[in-house]
Chain A
C-alpha cells in the first residue's frame, strides 16, 4: 500500500474520509443483551402472572431462577465477546459506564424491594427506560429510543395498577422495549455486514 509517488493531496482527502467512515461503521452486534434479557424478563413476568392465577405457593420462583441464571450466561457471553473485540470505540467506552450505572441502579432497587413495595416494578421500568433511551441514542438506533419512551409510559401505568397487572405491563414493556428492537438491531448488523 506504500505508494508515495502517486499520492496526491486529493488522495489524502479520499483516504481520510474513507478510513474515518470505516471506523465509524464498525458497530458490533450488541443485540444479544436486548434479546436475551428481554426474553428472560418476559418469561419470568408472564410465568409469575400465570403462577399467581393458579395460586401456586411460590409464584416468584421464576425470577429467583431466571435472573441469577441470566446473570451467569450474560457474564460468560460478555467475557468471550470482549476478548474477541479487535477495536474499542469511544461509544464502547461510554456504554461500559452506562451498563455499570444501569446494573448498579437495578440491583439497588431490587435490594430495596421490601421498602419500595408496589413502587418496585415502576422504578425498574424507569431504569429500563434510561438504559434503552441512552443506549439507543449512543448507537444511533431509533427503535431502542422508542422502546425507552414506551418504558417510561409503562412505568407511569405501573404506578396506578395492582401487582398482577404490573406483571403484564412489564411483559409488554420488555417485548416492545427490548425484544423487538433487539431483533431489529440484529437485522441491522447482518445487513451492514452483508454490505461490507
Chain B
C-alpha cells in the first residue's frame, strides 16, 4: 500500500518552490518568481503556507531601501520533501504493479 502524499507539497507551485530550494542554500523571492513563472501574489501566498508549516525559513530584509525576501529550506522541509518523493515512488510502483 502507498503512503499518502503530503497535501502541502502536492501542489504545483509549492512543490516547485520546495524543489528549487532543495538544490540551493538560499534564494530570493525574485529568483523563485522567475523560475516558477508564478505571479507575485500567488507565490507570496504559497510561500507563507510553506513557512507556516515550518518547511521553509523566510527572512525579510532591505537592500537599497527595497524589501528583500530570502527563502531557505529547513530540515523539516527537507524531510517532508524526501517523504513526498518516497510516497510518490510507492504510489507509481503500486499503480504499475496494479495495472
Instruction: Report A's interface with B, CB cutoff 8 A.
Output: 1-4, 7, 9-13, 15-16, 18-20, 22-24, 26, 83, 86-90, 92-93
Given that A7-B11, A7-B12, A11-B12 are known contacts, is A89 also in contact with B88, CB under 8 Å in the complex?
Answer: no
List chain A residues, Cβ under 8 A from B63. 83
List chain B residues, Cβ under 8 A from A19. 15-16, 19-20, 23, 35-36
Per DSSP, chain B at the interface is: helix
B35–chain A nearest beta-carbon distance, Å: 5
Does B75 reach chain A (CB closer than 8 Å)? Answer: no
List chain B residues, Cβ under 8 A from A4. 10-12
In the bound assembly, the distance between CA atoms of A3 and B14 in angstroms comes to 11
Which 3 residue pairs across A and B have the least CB separation, nearest first? A19-B19, A23-B23, A86-B31
In the bound assembly, the distance between CA atoms of A12 and B15 in angstroms comes to 7
A2–chain B nearest beta-carbon distance, Å: 5
Those of B14-39 within 8 Å (CB) of chain A: 15-16, 19-28, 30-31, 34-39
Of residues A10, A18, A87, which shows the largest number of chain B Cβ atoms within 10 Å of its Cβ?
A87
In the bound assembly, the distance between CA atoms of A150 and B21 in angstroms comes to 37
Instruction: Report B's interface with A, CB cutoff 8 A.
Output: 5, 10-13, 15-16, 19-28, 30-31, 34-39, 42, 46, 63, 84-85, 88, 91-92, 95
A89 in complex: contacting residue of B5, B25, B92, CB < 8 Å: B25
B72–chain A nearest beta-carbon distance, Å: 9
B48–chain A nearest beta-carbon distance, Å: 13
In the bound assembly, the distance between CA atoms of A12 and B34 in angstroms comes to 19
List chain B residues, Cβ under 8 A from A15. 12, 15-16, 19
Given that A9-B91, A23-B24, A83-B63 are known contacts, is A16 also in contact with B85, CB under 8 Å in the complex?
Answer: yes
A22 in complex: contacting residue of B11, B12, B35, B39, CB < 8 Å: B35
Is the Cβ of A2 less than 8 Å from the Cβ of B11? yes
